[in-house]
Amino acid sequence: MPKVKEYHVAMGVGRHLKEWGISADALSEYDWWDSFTINNIHITFTPTRHFSGRGLRDRAKSLWGGWSFKYKNEHTWFSGDGGYGEHFKEIHKRLGDVDVVFIECGQYNSNWHQIHMYPEESVQACVDVRAKYALPVHWGGFSLAQHSWKEPVERFTAEAQQKGISH
């Protein structure tokens, strides 16, 4: 008996899971702003700015995004990977203030700035969604980013303190 009964994924990701033997009946794919509810938790798939695909032939065949979780009066949001943009203000406009955000803040490089935020932009995204608390994630993951292991979280922490974001 499989441990996972349902898979909720970004549009286009289901094809990979089907190739790995996951039943189509267990899959639900979502476009940006699509929502569903599980156990009284309202979940919304939110946009981010990142290329999609991992190979030479699968570009623009899936979405990249984050997830908003609302339960009663609590709102948690995971940003997913992505570059800084106006979509953060749109997330706030559509979904309201965020209590806790798990925000991408690493793996940046000037060569792919459009798809990974600098730590200061990650803090600005927290300001844009009016986050009460922020937890920086996705830092120290791989060496291609050409920054030291701790640099992203140190820069994030310094900027968060200046902007009054609890972390």
Q: Which helix (H) or strand (E) holds 121?
A: helix 119-128
Going by C-alpha positions, the residue among 82, 88, 95 that lies closest to residue 35 is 95
Q: What predicted TM-score, i.e. pTM, was given to this entire model?
A: 0.91
Give pLDDT, residue 99: 97
Confidence class for position 72, pLDDT limits 50, 70, 90:
very high
What's the average model confidence in pLDDT over 75-81?
Answer: 95
Helix 151-163 and helix 119-128, axial crossing angle in degrees, nearest 10: 40
What are the boundaries of each domain within the chain? 1-30, 33-163
> Hunting for tokens 């009460």 — which residue is that?
132
pLDDT digits (tens, 9 = 90+) for 118-159: 999 999 999 999 999 999 998 877 666 778 889 999 999 999
Lowest mean pLDDT among 25-39, 46-60, 79-93, 148-162: 46-60
CATH classification for the domain delimited by 33-163, as one of 3.40.50.150, 3.60.15.10, 3.30.2130.30, 3.10.580.10? 3.60.15.10
